[in-house]
Chain A
Amino acid sequence: MSILNSDDLKPFADLARSFAARELAGKVAEHDRYPFGRFYEEVLAKLHDVGFLNAVLPIELGGTDFGIEALCAILENISEVDASPAGIIYTQALSQKILMAAGAGKLAASLSKAGTAMKTILIAFPVYIDPASTDTLPTAQITGGGYTLAGRIELLVPGNLTPHAVIPARTGRGPDYSFFLVDLDGKGVEISDPVFSLGLHACPAVDVTFGGAGAQLVGEENAGAAYFAQVLPQMSAVATAIISGILRGTYCEALAYAQKREQGGRPIVQWSEVTMMLANLSIKADVAAMCVCQSCRELRQKQNGYESRISAATLHIAELACEATTDGIQILGGYGYMKDYGQEKRYRDARMVQALLGSVPMKKLARIRCIPEVGTNTA
C-alpha cells in the first residue's frame, strides 16, 4: 500500500486500486501481447470514463482537475499491477501540461472536450526524449500561412491511437526548438507500425516521418525548452510514482511467491539469503514511496532547488527499480522469467520508465551543466 494515503488522496488511490483489480489484474500478460495480440481499447475507454485521461486538465478546460498529487496516487497504484496504462495516462498528462505551459490551454480543452470519443482526446508525445539534447529533431519551416514539418520523430506515444500529436521541431540551426500541434491523419505524415519495444507494450509507440506536414505552432517560437523545463518537475514526480508502483508490485509478488515456494524442504522465505533479498526489495519500495510523497511536497512548497531534488529522486528511484526488478525475477527463479508471472514485465517496464523524458546520462549531465558557471565552461 502506498504512503500517499492522506484523506485527500485516498479516494484516488482507492479508485485506481479497484480499477486495476477489476480491469487489469489477471489480464496483464494478454494486454502485453500487443502489437502481436489485440489492443485493449475497452480498458482505455474505461480509463477515460473515470477521468484519468484528463486528470491534470482544469475543470474550466473540461478536465477532471485531480491534480498532480492525485495523478501520482493513481499511477502508483495502477503501475503496481500494470505500468502500461500508466504510460498512456502519463503521456496524456505531459501533452496537456506542455500545451498549458505554452498558454494553449484552450487548445488542450478543445481536444479533450467532454463527450468526445476516447481516441480523439489522446494527444501523442515523444515521451522518451528530452528534445533539447536530441540532435535529430524534425525541422519546421514557415510556408504560406503556417508551418510545415520535415524529418522524423521516434517513439511517438501513442501515435497510432490518435490524430493529435505535440511534436518538438527546430525552426533554425541552433539548439532551440518549438512545439507544434500536428494532425497525424493529415498530408505529409507517414506513421510506422507500432514499434516492438522492450516494455510497456500496451502503451504503444510509433515512428513518424514528416514530409511537408502542416503544423500549428504552440506558444512561442523557440520557447520549447522553457515549456519543457516548466513541466519537468511535475512530470518527473509522476514518473517516480510509476516507478514506485513497479517496485511495490515487484516486492509484493516476490514476497508472496517466497512464502509459498519450497526448496530444500522449507519455504524459500526462510532461506536467509532470500530473506535478505526481500528486505532489500522492501527497502527500495519504501524509499520510492517516500520519494513520491516528498516530491509532491516539494512541488507544493517550491523551495529553492526543488526541481533538482525531484529530478534526483526520479533518477535514483529508477536506478533502484532496475536493480530491484532484476532481483524480483531472481526470487521467482525460472518462473520469474516466464510471462505467466508479472516480474519479467516489471523488469522490462522499469527500463522504459527510467528512459522517460530523456536518457539517464543526459539527465545526469544536465544537472551540472545547468549551473551557470559550469555551463558556460562546457560548451
Chain B
Amino acid sequence: MLSRSEVASVLSGFPKFEDSCIGLPYGPRMPGHMVKETRKAIAIARKFNEKVARPLALKLDRRTHEDPDFLPWDLIDEANRWGFYTMWIPKIFGGQGYNMPSSSFFLEEVASACAGIANVIGVHYLAVAGLVASGNARISKRVLREVIDGEKSGKPCLLALATTEPGAGTDVEEVELLDKGRVTCTARRVEGGYIVNGTKVFISMGHVSTWTVLSAYEDVRRPSETNIGFAVKTGAKGFSFGGHENKMGQRACPASVLIFEDCFIPDDQVIMSAALVKKYSGQPNRDVSQRYIDYVVSATRPGVCAFGTGVARGAFETALQYAAVTKVNGSLLINQEWAQCLLAEMYKNVLLGRLAYTEANNANSLRGLYRILQIKPVYQYLRFMPRIWFDKVISPFLDLGLTSRVMGKLYFDHAKPADQRCCSGWASVAKYAGTDLGVKNCQMAIELMGHRGLRQDAGAEKLLRDIKLLQIYEGTNQLNRLNAFKCLIAPAVPQVKVFEE
C-alpha cells in the first residue's frame, strides 16, 4: 500500500512516530539482561522496605517533628550498608553499574513505603547526574571514588546538587529564564581557582553530604554565558550551612541552606566552565549550558515521576488495607462497589505513572544521556569485564584531559538537538504526570479513610504531605508543562514562542 519512503514521510508529521512511541523502537534494542537486573533491584528495594523503610517511616517523621534539627545519620549508614549509594554509579567509575532505568523502579518501591527515605537515596543520584553529565571524567572519578571508598569503609560519602537560590528557583532550570533572573551566587577568578560567594536554598541532603555539586556565575549579568560548575567539599573554608528548612513533608530528607562566603575552590574542582567548554566545543557556552541542564533533568525527572508513582502506590495500598478491614454501614468497605471502583481508579493511576517514567527512561536509553551504556555490545562488555580491568586499566585514562574532552564532545557536540528535545520533553511529561497522579491518589485515600486517614499513625496523611513537594522540585509542574510544550509540541508550530510572553 505505502512504500517505505511514504511511511517515513507520513510518520515524520506531527506527532512524529519517533518522538511519541519510544518504547516500540527501543524494545528490540534493549539488552535482555536489563530485565533481570531490574527485577533484582526491585527485590532489593522490597527487602529494604520490609527490614528498614516501613518500620522506620512514621517514627522518623514523628522524630523530625519533635526535633526539627534531627539529621538521619543512622538511616544514611543503613542505606550505605545496603550499597545504595553506588548501585547506579557506572562501573568505569568503580560503581555497581546497575542500568539507570532500574533506579526508577527501585525508587518507586522505596517511595511506596516513604518518599523521604527514597529521597535520602535518590537525591544523591541527582548530584551524580549533575557531575557525570558535565563530561568531566577526571573530577567525576575523583568524587565518585570517594563514594565507593565510603561504602567500603562504612563512612558514607554522599553528593548533593546545589542550584536553587533564594531569588531564583524556576530561573535556574531554564537558560531562557536564567539571563532574566536574579541569580547572585558569584565565582570570581583568582590565581589557582575561584572565590565563591552566595547562598543556595532547599538543597536536599546538603547537611549530610560530603560533596556538593555547585553552580555559580562568573558574571551574574550574563549567567548563561558564564555558568560555572564546581565540586566543593563539606568543610571547605568559607562553606557553611544555615538552618534546616522546616518542610511540610519528606522530613526524613533534610533540606539545607548553603552559605558560601569567600570560599576558595581550586581549579581542579571545576566541573564545567566556559573555558573548559572551549577546549572541546565550538558552541557558545549558553547552548552547552542548556544541553547540560537538559541532560541532567532528562535523566532525573523520570525519577521524580517514580517517586510520585511510589507515593500513589503507597496511598493505594494504605486505602486497600483500610477498606479490607473496615466496616461501614454494616459491611466491609472492600465489598462496596463504589469503593472497589475508587480503588481501581487509584490502581490505574499507579500503572499510568509507571508507564510514564518507563517511556521517559526509554527515551534516555535510546536517544539520551546513557544511550552509550545501553548499546548491547557496550552493555555486555561492562557487564562481563572484571572489576580489576576498570580499576587498573580504564581508570587511569579518566584522569587524562583528552578523555574529558572526548566525553564533552560526545555529550555536547555529537548529540542531536532533536534527541535532547525528545528526552527532555518526555522527562517533563513523566514528571508532572506521575506527581499529579500521586496527589490525586493521596486525596482519594484521605477521603476514603475519613477520620482514620487524618492520623499520622495511619500513614495516609504523611503521604499527602510528602507528595506535594514532588509537584514543586526539579522544576515546578508548570515549568515542566512549558518545557514539554517547548520540546514536543512547539517544533510543529513555526510561529510559536516559548518563554517570551
Contacts and interface: CB of A to CB of B under 8 A. Distances in A.
B449 A263 contact: no
B472 A351 contact: no
Interface stretch (A54-62, A75-83, A267-275): A267-275
Interface string A327-370: 00110011011111000100110011011001111100100000
A31 to B, nearest CB: 14
B169 A334 contact: yes
Contact of A333 (B249, B448, B451, B472): B472
B461 interface: yes
Given A197-B461, A263-B170, A129 B450 contact: yes
B330 interface: yes
Nearest to A268: B170
Given A128-B451, A359-B447, A265 B473 contact: no
Contacts of B501: 271-272
Interface stretch (B95-103, B176-184, B421-429): B176-184
B330 A175 contact: yes
Given A262-B182, A263-B181, A333-B476, A196 B451 contact: no
B244 to A, nearest CB: 10
B66 interface: yes
Interface residues of B, number: 58
A333 B457 CA distance: 28
A198 B246 contact: no
Given A133-B329, A359-B447, A264 B248 contact: no
Contacts of B389: none
B468 interface: yes
B170 A333 contact: yes
A128 B447 contact: no
Interface residues of A, number: 50
B338 interface: yes
A272 B499 CA distance: 11
Nearest to B477: A330
Contact of A348 (B180, B465, B473, B477): B465
Contact of B449 (A196, A354, A359): A359
A159 B446 CA distance: 23
Contacts of B176: 264
A263 B168 contact: yes
A338 B465 CA distance: 11
A195 interface: yes
Contacts of A171: none
Contacts of B326: 135
B417 to A, nearest CB: 22
B209 interface: no
A364 to B, nearest CB: 9
Contact of A355 (B248, B451, B464): B451
B82 to A, nearest CB: 28
A263 B171 contact: yes
A348 B170 CA distance: 25
Given A322-B443, A333-B169, A198 B454 contact: yes
A155 interface: yes
A330 B448 contact: no
B468 A128 contact: no
Contacts of A274: 478
Contacts of B169: 263, 333-334
B477 A351 contact: no
A273 B65 CA distance: 35
Contacts of A135: 326-330
Interface string A130-157: 0001110000000000000000001100
A339 B248 contact: yes
B468 A197 contact: no
A347 B468 contact: yes
A196 B450 contact: no
Contacts of B452: 154
Nearest to A364: B338
B464 A196 contact: no
B247 interface: yes
A204 to B, nearest CB: 12
Given A155-B455, A359-B449, A339 B476 contact: no
B201 A359 contact: no
A206 to B, nearest CB: 11
B469 interface: yes
Contacts of B65: 36, 196
A359 B326 CA distance: 13
A222 to B, nearest CB: 17
B376 interface: no
A281 to B, nearest CB: 14
B164 interface: yes
A107 B93 CA distance: 77
Nearest to A199: B454
Contacts of B122: none
A64 interface: no
Interface string B247-265: 1110000000000000000
A361 B247 contact: no
Which of B168, B454, B468 has the largest count of A CB atoms less than 10 A from its CB? B454
Contact of B451 (A266, A337, A340, A359): A359
Interface in B172-193: 176-177, 180-182
A326 interface: yes
B413 interface: no
A38 to B, nearest CB: 14
Nearest to B245: A338
Contacts of B481: 273
A339 B245 CA distance: 8
A4 to B, nearest CB: 28
A187 to B, nearest CB: 27
B329 A337 contact: no
Nearest to B452: A154
B94 to A, nearest CB: 34
B476 A338 contact: no
Interface in A311-334: 322, 326, 329-330, 333-334
A197 B449 CA distance: 13
B302 interface: no
B62 interface: yes
Given A135-B327, A263-B181, A351-B464, A338 B248 contact: yes
B165 to A, nearest CB: 11
Given A129-B450, A175-B330, A334-B472, A265 B338 contact: no
Interface string A106-139: 0000000000000000000010110001110000
B483 to A, nearest CB: 12
A359 B247 contact: no
Contacts of A329: 468, 472
A354 B446 CA distance: 10
Contacts of A198: 446, 453-456, 461, 464-465
Contacts of B468: 326, 329, 337, 344, 347
A262 B245 contact: no
Among A198, A339, A352, the one with the most B-chain Cβ atoms within 10 Å of its Cβ is: A198
B476 A330 contact: yes
Nearest to A379: B330
B396 interface: no
Nearest to A154: B451
A337 B455 contact: no
B349 interface: no
18 contacts: A128-B450, A129-B451, A175-B329, A195-B457, A196-B62, A196-B65, A198-B453, A262-B181, A263-B181, A322-B443, A326-B471, A329-B472, A333-B476, A337-B468, A348-B464, A355-B454, A359-B450, A361-B342
Top 10 closest pairs, chain A to chain B, by CB:
A359-B450, A265-B180, A128-B451, A198-B461, A344-B248, A264-B177, A196-B456, A339-B246, A360-B447, A135-B327
Given A198-B454, A359-B450, 17 more contacts: A36-B65, A129-B450, A197-B455, A262-B181, A263-B181, A264-B176, A264-B499, A273-B481, A326-B439, A333-B476, A334-B245, A337-B248, A351-B443, A351-B454, A360-B450, A361-B447, A362-B329
